[in-house]
Amino acid sequence: MRKKRIWKHITVIALAVAAATAAIDGISAYFTDTQEKTNTLTVGSVKTDLEEPEWEDVPSDEKTDITPNQTIKKDPRITNTGANDAYAFLEIQVPVKKIITVGPDGKKLPAADTELFTYKVNDGWVQVRSSDITTSGKVTARSYVYAYGTKTQCTVLKKGETTTPLFDSVTLVNAIEGQIDEETLNIPVKSYAIQAEHIGESKVPSDVFQIYMKQNQ
């Protein structure tokens, strides 16, 4: 009789444990937590507009049949229309031809490769590069690149800002007649821009322009 009571007691305990386990698995509620974040980032942009408002206002007839020493308004400038601050550069190509010119004293000068237009660079710009452009071994133009800034520091062009004009006008060379008569002369202007942040420690214009050229070769 004693053994039966022991087994009966063990059976009761086992059933109680099973019931308790069922209660834990099927009835109890637990405190839990899950968190999630979505980090939204917006990619910026570098965009600019190249403008020449004074040049656009010059009447068409004043842009034709120009004469030696004549000055014409021409004012290239850059506006930052993008989302990010930028460093800005302008490239000017001046036509070159081997001609005879007249010096300030009124005397003829020997024939030489001569830039057909001159201009005065305004404050706030600095030259960073110059090179000859040749066609069939002859120099036909000379390229100049200018940075918006000083010799040691590019100037940041913020969103919506516009640079000062690189120059205000161009003047035709004082050429002896018959050498460039009725020729169509072009002065191509090209703008460049690169983000002002996270492009390296140096802000020297020549270094920054080199970064631009390496990326766009």
Q: Which residue has the tokens 């516009």?
A: 162
pTM for the whole structure: 0.82
Q: How many CB atoms lie within 10 A of CB 175?
A: 19
* Better pLDDT: 89 or 8: 89
Q: Coil, strand or helix: which one is 184? A: coil
Mean pLDDT taken over the chain: 88
Structural contact between residues 80 and 173, judged by C-beta atoms closer than 8 angstroms? no
| Position 16 pLDDT exceeds 90 | no
Three-class secondary structure assignment of 15-76: HHHHHHHHHHHHCCCCCCCCCCCCCCCCCCCCCEEEECHHHHHCCHHHHCCCCCCCEEECCC
Q: Where is average pLDDT lowest: 5-9, 81-85, 151-155?
A: 5-9
| Position 140 pLDDT exceeds 70 | yes
183-197: pLDDT as tens digits: 999 999 999 999 999
From CA 187, how far away is CA 70, in angstroms rounded?
A: 15
Determine the average pLDDT of the residues in 203-212.
Answer: 96
* Better pLDDT: 31 or 179: 179
Q: Coil, strand or helix: which one is 14? A: helix
CA distances from 154 to 85, 127, 145, 202, 206 (A): 12, 12, 13, 10, 9
Determine the average pLDDT of the residues in 88-96.
Answer: 97
| Position 152 pLDDT exceeds 80 | yes
Strands (E), the chain: 48-51, 71-73, 77-80, 86-99, 112-115, 117-118, 125-135, 138-148, 169-172, 189-195
Spell out the residues 6+ positions from residue 125 whose beta carbon is closer than 8 angstroms to its own.
90, 146, 147, 148, 149, 163, 164, 166
26-62: pLDDT as tens digits: 567 787 677 787 777 768 789 999 999 999 999 988 8
- For the chain, give the percent of residues with pLDDT over 70: 86
From CA 86, how far away is CA 196, in angstroms rounded?
A: 5
58-83: pLDDT as tens digits: 998 888 889 999 999 999 999 999 99
- Reported as half-sphere exposure (CB side, CA atoms, 13 A), residue 73 has a value of 11
pLDDT of residue 36: 82
